[in-house]
Amino acid sequence: MLKSSKIVLCLGVLLGGSVAVLPTKVRATRAVDAAQVEVSLTLPRLLALEMIGDGVPGTSTGGAATTWNSTTNAYSASFNVSDHSDATHPFGTTHYNVTCNYLAAATPTSGSETAAEQAARLADDCSHGWLVSVAPAAASGGYAAMTPSNNSNAARIKSNSSNGLSGASSNWLLKIAGVAKTTDASGATVASYSPTPETAFNNQFGTIPASSGVVVTGNTFSDNGDDTYTYLGDQQFDAIYGVSAGTDVPADTYTGTLTYTLAIRAAN
């Protein structure tokens, strides 16, 4: 006969060395088949060069104001002789945005591949970088040319950086400025990066190519060094125009038209 007993924490432990074992409840379980759900999102390849907002009109050192037409993407102004643009008074500035989001597989998905198959796999692979070229609508004497509205006027305003923008002679030039960023597409902080202007247009007004010529390059991906890449996102650059009015051409309205073309760098 037990002298005393006490239940502790419902374990039925009895003083005096005796233990009462409580009955164990058995619960039946029911097996449930697992259901797997897959969510897939396909994003299209995108290669785009777009203007961000309207152009920014400037002024000349003589005070002549430039206007911007958003329908024709055109800058215009009436200059007096010796009026000209400079770093402080650009004729106009256009902001451009580059999108290039396609990343090809680093290696063939299976087995070896022919040269044609490799070219197809690497087509539009943005990890090699992008480039933007500029081509004028008219050229004269090996220079990009502004043409007069009066068709009896044989004069042309030729783009030649050696003539400068002092107003001593008529001229039109181009300068490119990359826009720096310090965050990638996900918002993570990264080392500062920006498109790279070609030397002739970097921080200076350069001669506009007489035929298609590269003016700025960039890369929307950063190379991690282990066959993987981080997507940086869109990149921007500014195209800045300089114009000079001299006495070397007769009075008229001269127009120059430029076409910007975005392309992907070929694989090395």
Query: What average pLDDT does this structure show over 165-189?
Result: 96
Q: Contact 127/121 with Cβ under 8 angstroms? A: no
pLDDT of residue 24: 57
Query: What average pLDDT does this structure show over 239-247?
Result: 97
Listed as own residue / partner, the contacts of 153-158 with beta carbons closer than 8 Å and 24 or more positions apart are 153/250, 153/252, 155/249, 155/250, 155/252, 156/249, 156/254, 157/249, 157/254, 157/256
pLDDT of residue 2: 37
- Does pLDDT of 4 surpass 60? no
pLDDT of residue 125: 86
Cα separation, 247 vs 171, whole angstroms: 11
Q: Contact 200/206 with Cβ under 8 angstroms? A: yes
Query: What average pLDDT does this structure show over 176-181?
Result: 97
pLDDT band of 44, cuts 50, 70, 90: confident
- Does pLDDT of 7 surpass 80? no
pLDDT of residue 21: 53
Q: Is the model more confident about 184 or about 4?
A: 184
Q: How many other CB atoms sit within 10 Å of the CB of residue 86?
A: 17
Query: What average pLDDT does this structure show over 3-8?
Result: 39
pLDDT of residue 9: 40
Give the Cα-Cα-Cα angle 50, 51, 55 (nearest 5 degrees): 170
- Does pLDDT of 110 surpass 50? yes
Mean per-residue pLDDT of the chain: 87
pLDDT digits (tens, 9 = 90+) for 180-232: 999 999 999 999 999 999 999 999 999 999 999 999 999 999 998 887 899 99
